[in-house]
């Protein structure tokens, strides 16, 4: 803040018209931007619509007095600190203590003298300047000059409150520079820093004054667009994408060109928290990166049906099936503070190639795979680093009650193989393409949806596999899984959970196969409806 009065906004509150006129003249002549209110309630509304630098208020007023106004103001989510000065005839220490506890910064007893009044305002301006300078250092990224992730979430909370109170739209954009690591590897980190500064400046100049741009981490940026819907934010993101693609950044004798990926979302009825809004944009960004990069993806497009048709005649194959019905349960996850060495042991014991990563409260924070570990494990000093240093923080998630049709359509459009199912941000399961292929096969067969000619062909195919022999082989494999699990119980293995989880998952898959082949062993005894009922009760697993 500049201490020059012309840069400062002052709100004066007093129920005495003569006092208001006098203070207005003094302040306006000194160069301040002045507004007046006659009571605390009116002042509170004016503060919410346009936050001042100074609040000068009387103590005793109708509707809402000065101390209550002061208390209410300190509870508001305001963009800046407001310096509060009381003008009052009360001079006892009890009143001053009350005012200070309510949040006041300065007292001036009536009658008021012009020179002392303006001098105290100038002293208050110096306090504000120091406070905002320290605040800037704490809340601004030193490289790009953008606000930090922490400050962004503070602003997001205030804008979320404002959007809900006044029924206004609120949009969020996540942006990531494509293949940024190559710039650091080929041209060096100073070149990467120059690129980040150029992109930050471009984003700032592309935004309105009401928008907020932050460096979210590394080469990732997040932009908050108040009073904007998803379509508006997508149009803004497309303009920004084209501008970034047109950048030519000189690094020595070379010029670097860039592309970027954007994920866009807005606050919907089902968007319950500010963090969920950012997560929606993050999921759209991940989809943009997985589908080729250098593009803008809207969150709602992840749920668009597109050209996919899952309805056969009058039967919707996925009708009524939710994510929790078919997901592979997640019983164990890695914690973000566990080491890379511990993660390697986890994968070896569980025979999995990827797993969710959670924080101390069990909430999802990322995903880590064997491939992520391999990049770090060749350096011995990396074995003690936390999993959070190599995990991928961007994870596509769906709630347990999400229709399976929505997940199917999403996995058909992107290159990723698996998504995570969550409940209250806690991972509870996964769904992969294999899960859906198994479900689709089971549904088609059990519902008897093939016509007679195709049905005869399918029946012949199953008969050619010698159905009874196949059932016997599945049962043998199932017994082998049980035997292996029993041996683990007997041999004194300390950490049984990975073997129990892996064995149970394998056995569930074999049980599904038994159910499918059973109708061809004795087709006259089980109807398609009976089999479908059996399948739905047992859940489908990958």
Do the domain assignments include residue 77?
Answer: yes
**Cβ–Cβ under 8 Å, residues 363 and 425:** yes
Do the domain assignments include residue 144?
Answer: no
Do the domain assignments include residue 526?
Answer: yes
Helix (H) / strand (E) containing 37: strand 33-37
Same domain, 317 and 453: yes
Q: Residue 238 maps to which CATH number?
A: 3.30.70.270
Q: Residue 20 maps to which CATH number?
A: 3.40.50.2300
Domain boundary among 76, 105, 139: 139
The SS3 of residue 163 is helix
Helix (H) / strand (E) containing 101: helix 93-102
Give the phi and the psi of residue 14 in degrees, each rounded to 5: -165, 140
- Specify the residue for token string 């059996």: 534
When divided into structural domains, the chain yields a total of 3
Same domain, 367 and 502: yes
pLDDT digits (tens, 9 = 90+) for 186-243: 999 999 999 999 999 999 999 998 999 999 988 999 999 999 999 999 999 999 999 9
pLDDT digits (tens, 9 = 90+) for 373-384: 887 776 777 888
Domain boundary among 302, 333, 364: 302
Same domain, 499 and 394: yes
Give residues with Cβ within 8 angstroms of 8, minimum separation 6. Answer: 1, 2, 32, 33, 53, 54, 125
Same domain, 122 and 159: no
Do the domain assignments include residue 448?
Answer: yes
pLDDT surpasses 50 at 109 = yes
Which percentage of the chain shows pLDDT scores above 70? 83
Report the C-alpha gap between 337 and 360 in whole angstroms. Answer: 9
Of 283 and 309, more confident: 283
pLDDT digits (tens, 9 = 90+) for 19-78: 999 999 999 999 999 999 999 999 999 998 889 999 999 988 888 988 899 999 998 878
Lowest-pLDDT choice from 4-13, 33-42, 339-348, 504-513: 504-513
Same domain, 247 and 379: no
Average confidence (pLDDT) over 422-448: 80
- Cα maximum dimension of the chain: 105
Lowest-pLDDT choice from 262-266, 315-319, 395-399, 519-523: 519-523
Do the domain assignments include residue 56?
Answer: yes
Do the domain assignments include residue 329?
Answer: yes
Say how many CA atoms lie within 13 Å of 505 toward its Cβ: 21
Same domain, 283 and 153: yes
What pLDDT is stored for residue 481 in this prediction?
Answer: 81
Which DSSP letter does residue 249 get?
A: E
Do the domain assignments include residue 509?
Answer: yes
> Quick one: pLDDT band at residue 309, thresholds 50, 70, 90?
very low
Same domain, 318 and 410: yes
Average confidence (pLDDT) over 479-503: 76
What pLDDT is stored for residue 153 in this prediction?
Answer: 93
Q: Residue 356 maps to which CATH number?
A: 3.10.580.10
Same domain, 163 and 188: yes
- The burial class, CB within 10 Å (0-12 / 13-18 / 19+), for 269 is exposed
Same domain, 280 and 360: no
Domain boundary among 139, 160, 183: 139
Helix (H) / strand (E) containing 93: helix 93-102
Cα dihedral 218, 303, 426, 220 in deg (nearest 10): 0
What pLDDT is stored for residue 311 in this prediction?
Answer: 45
Report the C-alpha gap between 236 and 118 in whole angstroms. Answer: 45
Same domain, 438 and 374: yes
> Quick one: pLDDT band at residue 336, thresholds 50, 70, 90?
very high
Which DSSP letter does residue 448 get?
A: T
Same domain, 479 and 390: yes
Same domain, 49 and 162: no
Q: What's the Cα-to-Cα distance from 23 to each of 107, 143, 348, rounded to whole Å?
A: 15, 43, 76
What pLDDT is stored for residue 131 in this prediction?
Answer: 82
- The burial class, CB within 10 Å (0-12 / 13-18 / 19+), for 30 is middle
426-441 exposure pattern, b = at least 16 Cβ within 10 A, e = fewer: ebbbbbbeebbebbee
How far apart, in Å, do the first and last CA atoms of the chain sit?
59
Which DSSP letter does residue 111 get?
A: S
Q: Which residues pair with 256 in a beta bridge?
A: 249
What pLDDT is stored for residue 380 in this prediction?
Answer: 73
Parent domain of 318: 311-538
Give residues with Cβ within 8 angstroms of 356, minimum separation 6. Answer: 330, 333, 334, 364, 366, 367, 395, 420, 427, 430
pLDDT surpasses 50 at 530 = no
**Cβ–Cβ under 8 Å, residues 262 and 241:** yes
- The burial class, CB within 10 Å (0-12 / 13-18 / 19+), for 54 is buried
Single pTM value for the model: 0.52
**Cβ–Cβ under 8 Å, residues 539 and 442:** no
């Amino acid at each position: 803040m500049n201490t020059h009065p012309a840069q400062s906004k002052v709100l004066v509150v007093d129920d005495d018209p003569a006092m208001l006129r006098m203070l207005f003249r003094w302040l306006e002549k000194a160069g301040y931007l002045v507004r007046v209110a006659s009571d605390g309630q009116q002042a509170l509304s004016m503060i919410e619509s346009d936050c001042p630098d100074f609040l000068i208020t009387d103590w005793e007023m109708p509707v809402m007095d000065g101390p209550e106004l002061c208390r209410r103001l300190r509870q508001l989510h305001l963009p800046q600190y407001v310096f509060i000065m009381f003008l009052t005839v009360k001079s006892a220490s009890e009143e001053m203590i009350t005012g200070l506890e309510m949040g006041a910064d300065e007292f001036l007893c009536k009658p008021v003298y012009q020179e002392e009044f303006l001098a105290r305002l100038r002293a208050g301006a110096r306090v504000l300047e120091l406070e905002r300078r320290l605040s800037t250092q704490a809340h601004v990224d030193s490289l790009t000059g953008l606000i930090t992730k922490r400050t962004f979430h503070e602003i997001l909370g205030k804008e979320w409150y404002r959007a809900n109170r006044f029924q206004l739209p609120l949009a969020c954009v996540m942006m990531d520079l494509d293949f940024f690591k190559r710039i650091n590897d080929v041209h060096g980190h100073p070149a990467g820093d120059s690129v980040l500064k150029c992109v930050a400046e471009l984003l700032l100049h592309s935004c309105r004054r009401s928008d907020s741009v932050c460096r979210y981490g590394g080469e990732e940026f997040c932009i908050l667009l108040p009073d904007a819907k998803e379509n508006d934010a997508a149009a803004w993101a497309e303009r920004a994408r084209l501008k970034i693609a047109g950048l030519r950044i000189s690094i020595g004798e070379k010029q670097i060109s860039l592309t970027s990926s954007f994920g866009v979302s807005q606050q919907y009825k089902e968007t319950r928290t500010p963090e969920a809004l950012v997560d929606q944009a993050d999921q759209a960004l991940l989809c943009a990166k997985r589908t080729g990069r250098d593009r803008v993806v809207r969150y709602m497009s992840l749920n668009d049906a597109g050209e996919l048709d899952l309805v056969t005649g009058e039967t919707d194959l996925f009708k009524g099936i939710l994510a929790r019905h078919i997901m592979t349960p997640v019983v164990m996850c890695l914690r973000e503070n566990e080491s890379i060495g511990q993660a390697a042991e986890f994968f070896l014991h569980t025979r999995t190639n990827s797993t969710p990563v959670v924080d101390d409260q069990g909430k999802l924070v990322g995903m880590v795979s064997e491939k992520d570990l391999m990049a770090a494990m060749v350096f011995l000093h990396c074995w003690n680093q936390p999993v959070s240093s190599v995990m991928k923080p961007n994870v596509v998630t769906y709630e347990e009650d999400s229709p399976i049709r929505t997940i199917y359509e999403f996995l058909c459009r992107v290159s990723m193989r698996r998504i995570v199912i969550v409940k209250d941000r806690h991972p509870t399961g996964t769904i992969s393409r294999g899960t859906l292929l198994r479900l689709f096969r089971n549904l088609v067969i059990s519902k008897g949806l093939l016509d007679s000619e195709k049905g005869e062909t399918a029946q012949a195919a199953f008969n050619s596999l010698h159905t009874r022999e196949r059932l016997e082989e599945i049962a043998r494999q199932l017994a082998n899984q049980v035997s292996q699990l029993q041996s683990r119980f007997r041999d004194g293995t300390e950490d049984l959970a990975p073997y129990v989880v892996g064995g149970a998952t394998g056995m569930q898959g074999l049980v599904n196969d038994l159910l499918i082949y059973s109708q061809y062993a004795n087709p006259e005894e089980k109807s398609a409806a009976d089999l479908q009922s059996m399948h739905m009760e047992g859940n489908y697993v990958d």
